[in-house]
Amino acid sequence: MPNRSSGPRVGLFVTCLADMFRPSVAFATVKLLEQAGCQVEVPERQTCCGQPAFNSGDRKTTADIARQTIDAFDGYEYVVGPSGSCIGMLHYYPEVFDPSDRYYQRALELKNRSFEITSFLFDVIGMDSLQEQLKQLQFNHKVTYHDSCSGLRQLGIKQQPRELLAQVEGVELEEMEEAETCCGFGGTFCVKYPEISNRMVSNKTDYISNTGAHTVLGGDLGCLLNMAGKLKREGKTIEARHIVEVLAGMTDIPAIGEADYDLAQQL
Amino acid sequence: MQINTPFFKQRAHDALHDANLQKALGNLKAGFPEKRAIAVSRMPEFEELRNQGRDLKNHIMEHLDLYLEQFEAKVIENGGHVHWARTTDDANQIILDICKQVDAKTVTKGKSMVTEEIGLNDFLEANGIQPVETDLGEYILQLRHDHPSHIIAPAIHLNLEDVSEAFHANHHRPKSMDPAVLMQEAREVLREKFVAADVGITGANFCVAESGSTIIVTNEGNGDLTQTLPKTHIVVTSIEKVVPTLEDMTLFLRLLARSATGQEFSVYNTLSTGPRREGDQDGPENFHVVLVDNGRSEMVGTEFQDMLRCIRCSACMNHCPVYGAVGGHSYGWVYPGPMGSVLTPQMIGIEKGGMLPNASTFCGKCESVCPVKIPLPKLMRHWREDEFEKHLQPKAARYGLAGWAFLAKRPALYKPYTRMASWLMKTWAGKNGRIKKLPLAGGWTDWRDMPAPQGKTFMQAWKEQQKAGEQP
């Protein structure tokens, strides 16, 4: 339903993994933004942030995709997405252009108004406007939180998801050992060096198990697909979810990699 | 030294299946990072020191020629000699010539990664001169004909049994598994070597331009015996180690010890300023400094100049999850871990070294602990750009990337394609919610399940929802 609020106009950066694997994460993000009073729109001309090209050394494709994304999100007060990694990529756009390029300034300007969802909610919207909604939620489980690398080290996201979670009734956060260590996903790394990636994600699932948590939460679907896939392969029953699913009260949807869920029948 | 970097994947595979190595790596992970964290937490101004270290090194690299020439002039003024070695061959020849001048039979060596880089030990042995490593770790490695797997803890990949066996085989003494006994044994054997050596070779952590001094930082004291007892002391170091003043040096000493071992200060910080002067109680009669370039000057003024800030503390590898999984030998040459992944392609060529800058998730932990804030992931990415331009990446990766790029640049095509891919994977998964085996995605599904998509893409579902909302 079109939102008629008078709050800031926000362009949703869907991210390709939410688009293809877990649309419910993008819907949860929309719900949270609308609850915060934003008018949310989804620009049609977005695809991927371009990180696979950037990290493979293909500067030309990276610049092409950056220009496309900059154009697609022109005019929005904020650009918000459910991933520290993809929003972090948007923050790299100024590096992609020569300062004399007309897209350079626009890239800088996009960087300044792009936010990962938990950081947008906590740092921009502010707790005062959110508390009432969050207090109505309930998630009666012990959870542990994985800090994804780009969100943590590039965007400084650490306290924001924890502060938001703390408002939800029933959530008991048990920190895992090495929460800040990479899970081994790394985009194409996990298929280029599968054995090393496997060791890293095995360490991670051990740390997750050691907490006795019912659910592992995170802010990036790349890491979550990796950790969920490993937990399932190991036969563990620990669930994996994106944090926005909890914050938007959408935990009735099966967790990542859990039994059948047909989006078409839910909408 | 033999280059095994192209075999990184196979070596990593072997390392992952080596139980002893994995145990040693586990100890490393629990050791250095924790000690560093404590040391840093005790020093509120550490972050500011890192900024100062970065800025000072940047200044030095902008004026490298100036400070090197000032250093050279001071060494000469102090009665020493400076030798410029553009290549590793030049460096080895210079060192051999000095050894021949004093008719050296044996040389003792302090720990030095630059001498590993130039392959000095093999070269000296081939020319009839016996080098003796005196750092305990390096000594153990030399007995085993092995090489360092870490830049400050060279024998970190070995365990007590390995050391015990190496000593028993070489010292012809009863086998012991008591570290204290082994330590004493090494002391006794090495003491004779120290006294007998004709030449002592050390590295240098820093070269001080204002005084012509070099400094070595050690925890064993072996470096002091190496450089003060023989008649000739040769310092083998590289051009980026120069710092303007003694005070500047102390900034880096504070950063180095904390970043490396979590110590506030290393046990021995020994300065060498020229040969023995009149009235000196000890010290060498001849003092030589060999300044090795080996590709470093080519990095000045390029995107890799930041790498020349490196002070060889090892914090990047101590915190690296990839190094922690596969250990230093997997990297196949002298320098392992993130700093090695940037430096190695520069020194052996990207054609042979390309595996290393790709073996990173860009998690950024290395950069976050680097005492001089080297943007290591960014520099590894620059190597990937170099590879991309030279078409060095595997064909499958290049074509895969090109196909993806074609779609990602065309939203109108991208949408139906992603819809189809989501639907296909969802159908493949059936009711399980996950895929056990997916064609062309063995890299993923050999090790973990692939969570199934929810069926529709968000773009598709969003559009349908918007349409439904518009209907009266």
Which CATH number fits the domain that encloses residue B80? Answer: 3.40.50.10420
Using the 3D structure, point to which of B298, B314, B336 is the last residue of a domain.
B298
Give the model's pLDDT for residue B432: 84
B341 CB-side CA count, 13 A: 31
Nearest CA of chain B to the CA of A162: how many Å? 21
Which residues of A are less than 8 Å from B446 in CB distance?
Answer: 194
Give dist(CA A32, CA A16) in Å, integer: 19
Give dist(CA A19, CA A256) in Å, integer: 14
B461 CB-side CA count, 13 A: 26
Give contacts of B 344-363 with A, CB under 8 A. Answer: 358-363
Its domain, for residue B423, covers 411-470
Nearest CA of chain A to the CA of B243: how many Å? 30
Give the model's pLDDT for residue B27: 85
B455 touching A, CB under 8 A? yes
Report the residue from B364, B457, B465 with minimal CB separation from A19: B457
- Mean residue pLDDT of chain B comes to 96
The backbone torsions φ and ψ at residue A139, rounded to the nearest 5 degrees and listed phi first, read -145, 95
DSSP state of B107: E
B9 touching A, CB under 8 A? yes
- Block residue for tokens 């703390």: A166
Nearest CA of chain A to the CA of B248: how many Å? 29
- Specify if B33 maps to a domain: no
Report the residue from B322, B393, B464 with minimal CB separation from A267: B464
A9-119 placed in CATH 3.40.50: yes
For the residues of chain A, what is the DSSP string, one character each?
Answer: ------S-EEEE---HHHHHT-HHHHHHHHHHHHHTT-EEE--TT----SHHHHHTT-HHHHHHHHHHHHHHTTT-SEEEES-HHHHHHHHHHHHHS-TTSHHHHHHHHHHHTEEEHHHIIIIII-HHHHHHHHHT-B--SEEEE---HIIIIIT--SHHHHHHHHTSBT-EE-PPTTTTS--S-TTTHHHHSHHHHHHHHHHHHHHHHHTT-SEEEES-HHHHHHHHHHHHHTT---EEEEHHHHHTT-TTSPPTT-S---HHHH-
Q: Are A38 and A7 in contact (CB under 8 A)?
A: yes
Which residues of B are less than 8 Å from A189 in CB distance?
Answer: 358-362
B162 touching A, CB under 8 A? no
- Mean residue pLDDT of chain A comes to 95
Report the residue from A20, A180, A197 with minimal CB separation from B418: A20
- Specify if B452 maps to a domain: yes
Using the 3D structure, point to which of B276, B298, B320 is the last residue of a domain.
B298
pLDDT band, residue A264 (cuts 50/70/90): low
- Specify if B377 maps to a domain: no
pLDDT at A263 over 80: no
Give dist(CA B379, CA B383) in Å, integer: 7
Which residues of B are less than 8 Å from A203 in CB distance?
Answer: 321
DSSP state of B453: P
Give the model's pLDDT for residue B439: 82
Contact state of B455 with A264 under an 8 Å Cβ cutoff: yes
Q: Are B179 and B160 in contact (CB under 8 A)?
A: yes
Domain boundaries, chain A: 9-119, 129-260
Give contacts of B 368-407 with A, CB under 8 A. Answer: 368, 381, 383-389, 393, 397, 401, 404-405, 407
Q: Which tokens sit at B300?
A: 């000045």
pLDDT in tens, A35-83: 999 999 999 999 999 999 999 999 999 999 999 999 999 999 999 999 9
Give the model's pLDDT for residue A53: 97
CATH class of A129-260: alpha beta
Which residue of chain B is at minimal alpha-carbon distance from A65?
B409
Give the model's pLDDT for residue A267: 47
- Specify if B343 maps to a domain: no
Nearest CA of chain B to the CA of A266: how many Å? 10
Give the model's pLDDT for residue B438: 86
Report the residue from A65, A198, A267 with minimal CB separation from B408: A65
A43 touching B, CB under 8 A? no
Give the model's pLDDT for residue B131: 97
- Specify if B448 maps to a domain: yes
Give dist(CA A141, CA B328) in Å, integer: 41
- Specify if B280 maps to a domain: yes
Give the model's pLDDT for residue A265: 55
Give dist(CA B45, CA B353) in Å, integer: 37
Contact state of A42 with B441 under an 8 Å Cβ cutoff: no
Which residues of A are less than 8 Å from B443 in CB distance?
Answer: 190-192, 194
Which residue of chain A is at minimal alpha-carbon distance from B366?
A153
Contact state of A263 with B461 under an 8 Å Cβ cutoff: yes
Which residue of chain B is at minimal alpha-carbon distance from A224?
B451
Q: Are A188 and A114 in contact (CB under 8 A)?
A: no
Nearest CA of chain A to the CA of B432: how many Å? 5
Contact state of A47 with B414 under an 8 Å Cβ cutoff: yes
Contact state of B421 with A23 under an 8 Å Cβ cutoff: no
Q: What is the pLDDT along chain B (472 residues), one digit of tens a residue?
A: 899 999 999 999 999 999 999 999 988 887 999 999 999 999 999 999 999 999 999 999 999 999 999 999 999 999 999 999 999 999 999 999 999 999 999 999 999 999 999 999 999 999 999 999 999 999 999 999 999 999 999 999 999 999 999 999 999 999 999 999 999 999 999 999 999 999 999 999 999 999 999 999 999 999 999 999 999 999 999 999 999 999 999 999 999 999 999 999 999 999 999 999 999 988 999 999 999 999 999 999 999 999 999 999 999 999 999 999 999 999 999 999 999 999 999 999 999 999 999 999 999 999 999 999 999 999 999 999 999 999 999 998 999 999 999 999 999 999 999 999 999 999 999 888 899 998 878 889 999 999 999 989 999 999 999 998 876 5
- Specify if B15 maps to a domain: no
Using the 3D structure, point to which of B271, B298, B325 is the last residue of a domain.
B298
Give the model's pLDDT for residue B466: 92
Report the residue from A44, A153, A181 with minimal CB separation from B411: A44
Which residue of chain A is at minimal alpha-carbon distance from B449?
A229
Do A129-260 and A9-119 have the same topology in CATH? Answer: yes
Report the residue from A27, A189, A229 with minimal CB separation from B361: A189
Give the model's pLDDT for residue A201: 98
Total tally of structural domains belonging to chain B? 2
Contact state of B448 with A201 under an 8 Å Cβ cutoff: yes
Q: Are A260 and B432 in contact (CB under 8 A)?
A: yes
- The three-state secondary structure class of B270 is strand
Give contacts of A 224-243 with B, CB under 8 A. Answer: 225-226, 228-230, 232-233
CA B336 to each of CA A213, A263, B357: distance values in angstroms, whole numbers, following the listed order = 36, 47, 11
A254 touching B, CB under 8 A? yes
Give dist(CA A149, CA A156) in Å, integer: 10
